[in-house]
Structure 1
């Protein structure tokens, strides 16, 4: 693993509400979990910091409402951040806080440097477009105009994620949940991004389908060397995939380290509860 991170996030904060004298630092005594009892402000992400390294899978685990998905939407610019910094090594040599960039530059980063796979495929796919059309759309957004190249690339990716060649022109609405997730993964990979964000991609899938999606993610990492952030409330998924793990609770990172260390010797009471629930 190289020393220079491909992504560095510093004190990411996303709050819903104005804050007040009791909670403006996000650590006030008036907070009940991550909500201020005085003004009602919710600190969905509260000074989250981490680094992602080349070829690494970083797992993020925590219960519903812990801030995992909010963090991912901030990283993909679906949500504006309240404050914080993020640096991407392949963008301006990692010297620019991407959260301060213009909407035009954010679109460029989304389309060329980042890939996103949502828990709900409706957020990541146009259900009435063909599967091949969904992938081509992402490539067009990145500036590709070569129709033959886009068609060949789309077919190659759909084959890679095990979508039958006979179905590449079918709309995702005709697919099962597992197939929809695989089309999302193919779309996310279309412009060869160095960073892939996966948010609860196996939630709601049958166990056998979950296993095939997880195997696909491992294969992609092995073959393409892409760095990934994998969010899950299921520590078994993180155990299977992640090199390092970050545990979130009430918008904060409460523990982080090598996945083996987190699983074998959890320090925080909440992490201990998560780990022992697997035994």
Structure 2
């Protein structure tokens, strides 16, 4: 499907562990774990040798139960957490010849502000709930170097209109908004600097079904209009089915299956994926 394209993002052998490891668990070849946890020293191996490619204009879904490592993976990609080891190459950053995880904190801030946007499951992490909605967007633009107030106001109102926040509420603080509206403000903020990559972490969890549907419709529409690459984490296969071109299935910190979304939903190979798919039917 994307044979001619170079991936926009390549992740290779990403590892994230919490704890120092011990003789029983630190050798990856014969590591003896209880799921992703070492019962001897208590180290948790949240992400284990995660490798994948994300292509331009593609929506890549990551699905798995709570504790499978998918949210930790997203935190590592957005530098909310440090990786233990691994490589991330972004084709639009320094000709794709640098490992993002080894860049300085200043460069990581630049990548976060200019080249990626993230929408968090909990709006408290992605928004200042007491700032105005338009102020939230301006904040991300200022972080990326914007200084022109009128430009920021125009961009802010354009984006908030796009995500269906009425003009008369743009100066209002998101703390007064419903959950669905808060997520839409987060989406507008994440898009403020036209990033080529958008990270969406469980963005519809906790929303009513009708609100979920409208947020998903909005994401689908924006993705097509802007041809943005999206990494979409969810434990809900319905969300993945609606949005993702390809899907990775995670369990206990590892990718256990990957392929075209339709193929994974129609003909799952791994026992865990089969269980997931049958629970959806």
Stretches of structure 2 lacking an aligned partner (at least 5 in a row): none
Deviation at 1:25, TM superposition (A): 3.2
Counterpart check, 1:119 vs 2:118: no
Aligned to 2:91: 89
Deviation at 1:38, TM superposition (A): 1.6
Alignment of 1:224-239 (within 5 A): 224-239=226-241
Alignment of 1:194-213 (within 5 A): 194-213=196-215
Secondary structure, counterpart of 2:240 in structure 1: helix
TM-score computed with the length of structure 1 as normaliser? 0.99
Aligned to 1:270: 272
Counterpart check, 1:47 vs 2:49: yes
Return the match for 2:154 from 132, 152, 156. 152
Aligned to 1:22: 24
Aligned to 1:131: 133
TM-score computed with the length of structure 2 as normaliser? 0.98
Deviation at 1:278, TM superposition (A): 1.3
Aligned to 1:258: 260
Aligned to 2:189: 187
Deviation at 1:27, TM superposition (A): 5.3
How big is the alpha-carbon RMSD for the aligned residues of Structure 1 and Structure 2? 0.8
Return the match for 1:78 from 77, 80, 84. 80
Contact residue 63 and residue 249 of structure 1 kept, 8 A: yes
Aligned to 1:223: 225
- CA change 1:29–1:97 in 2 (3 A) is closer
Counterpart check, 1:106 vs 2:102: no
Contact residue 34 and residue 44 of structure 1 kept, 8 A: yes
Aligned-partner Cα distance in 2 for 1:27–1:277: 33
Counterpart check, 1:169 vs 2:168: no
Give per-residue Cα distances to partners, 1:155-210, cap 9 Å, x unaligned: 00000000000100010100000000000000000000000000000000000000
Aligned-partner Cα distance in 2 for 1:21–1:28: 10
Give per-residue Cα distances to partners, 1:112-132, cap 9 Å, x unaligned: 000000000000000110000
Deviation at 1:23, TM superposition (A): 1.1
Aligned to 1:142: 144
Aligned-partner Cα distance in 1 for 2:94–2:70: 27
Give per-residue Cα distances to partners, 1:45-103, cap 9 Å, x unaligned: 11111000000000000000000000000000000000000000000111100000000
Spell out structure 1 runs of 4+ moving beyond 6 A: none
Contact residue 26 and residue 46 of structure 1 kept, 8 A: no
Stretches of structure 1 lacking an aligned partner (at least 5 in a row): none
How many residues end up aligned between the 2 structures? 279
